[in-house]
């Protein structure tokens, strides 16, 4: 389990993380989402002991990361797949990791097999690895100590579709065996497939969190009538937001019984009334972070 409570991290006058609290539960995959500059990486660096918190706490398995005895045996971390010694071979990277953790070198071969790096590839210098191969090596390093928790920042970068599916299956199996996974990714489609819980951060603050089902559950109604303008006016008069949709009809921020009652009272005949379609993760993400996303402009 990972617990973050009232976490604040400042750099001078800039607040990168502002009173962030959430929990990543054991046996579940938690997707950690936000635009560039939202505070995701800073939060993950605090929980892995790389950046000090100004206030608040971040604990892993009930303990601050820096206080864990031999932390790699408890927590597997992958924050930057490119931050590996380019002059060493993949096998050397893992062998040094095994020595540091005090585990048998047999684990190196096991992890190479788990992440799909061949013996020939393991003999190559990391500088000659593709980004996808570095991601696999980074995951092997994170899993080397047989941890109970994985903290992964953009682990799918550079992976081809087959590699992304492999990673999804790997993390699903890890969580299914009782492990905790905190996963940051810009691949929203993949997060939607694998995550059990979702935490969304914008401008350093949590803007939404909950189970995937809770956050993506459809709300509101879609209604069509013989006089949409009159119906819209009646809904707005009751304090209900109603917006025209392409092809006719209204998207209404109210459930169907309420909409039907107002239409009846206004004397408007309905031709269709149903619950709104389920919102996808991308739509939800863009809606929640539209005011927080960094605006990119050409130089």
146-183 residues labelled b (16+ CB within 10 A) or e (exposed): ebbbbbbbbbbbbbeeebbebbbebbeebbeeebbbbb
pLDDT confidence of residue 293: 52
pLDDT (mean) for 184-205: 90
Predicted TM-score (pTM) of the model is 0.80
pLDDT at 64: 95
> The domain 2-210 is classified under which CATH number: 3.40.50.1100, 3.40.190.10, 3.40.50.300, 3.20.20.20?
3.40.50.300
Quick one: which of 46, 62, 42, 58 has its CA closest to 6? 58
* pLDDT tens-place string over residues 269-298: 999 998 876 667 877 777 777 665 544 333
The per-residue pLDDT for range 57-69, each reduced to its tens digit, is: 999 999 999 999 9
CATH topology of domain 218-275: Alpha-Beta Plaits (3.30.70)
Average pLDDT taken over every residue of the chain:
91
Fold identical between 2-210 and 218-275? Answer: no
Average pLDDT score over residue span 155-183: 92
pLDDT on residue 292: 57
- For the chain, give every domain's residue range: 2-210, 218-275
Calculate mean pLDDT across residues 201-225. 88
What integer pLDDT is reported at residue 21 of this predicted model? 97
């Amino acid at each position: 389990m990972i617990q973050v409570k009232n976490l604040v991290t400042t750099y001078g006058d800039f607040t990168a993380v502002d009173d962030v609290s959430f929990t990543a539960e054991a046996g579940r995959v938690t997707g950690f989402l936000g635009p560039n500059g939202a505070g995701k990486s800073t939060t993950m660096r605090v929980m892995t002991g790389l950046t000090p918190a100004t206030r608040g706490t971040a604990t892993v398995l009930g303990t601050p990361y820096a206080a864990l005895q031999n932390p790699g045996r408890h927590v597997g971390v992958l924050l930057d797949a490119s931050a590996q010694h380019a002059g060493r071979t993949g096998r050397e990277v893992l062998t040094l990791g095994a020595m540091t953790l005090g585990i048998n070198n047999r684990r190196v071969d096991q992890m190479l097999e788990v992440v799909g790096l061949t013996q020939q590839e393991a003999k190559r210098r990391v500088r000659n690895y593709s980004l996808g191969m570095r991601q696999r090596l980074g995951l092997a390093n994170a899993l080397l100590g047989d941890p109970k928790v994985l903290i992964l920042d953009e682990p799918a970068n550079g992976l081809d579709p087959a590699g992304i599916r492999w990673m999804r299956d790997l993390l699903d199996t890890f969580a299914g065996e009782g492990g905790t996974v905190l996963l940051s990714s810009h691949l929203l489609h993949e997060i939607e497939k694998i995550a059990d819980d979702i935490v969304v951060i914008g401008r350093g603050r949590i803007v939404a969190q909950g189970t995937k089902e809770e956050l993506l559950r459809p709300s509101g109604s879609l209604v069509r009538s013989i006089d949409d303008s009159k119906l819209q006016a009646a809904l707005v008069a009751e304090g209900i937001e109603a917006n025209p949709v392409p092809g006719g009809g209204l998207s209404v921020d109210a459930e169907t019984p309420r909409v039907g009652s107002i239409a009846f009272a206004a004397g408007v005949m309905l031709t269709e009334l149903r619950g709104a379609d389920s919102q996808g993760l991308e739509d939800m993400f863009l809606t929640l972070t539209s005011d927080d996303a960094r605006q990119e402009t050409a130089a």
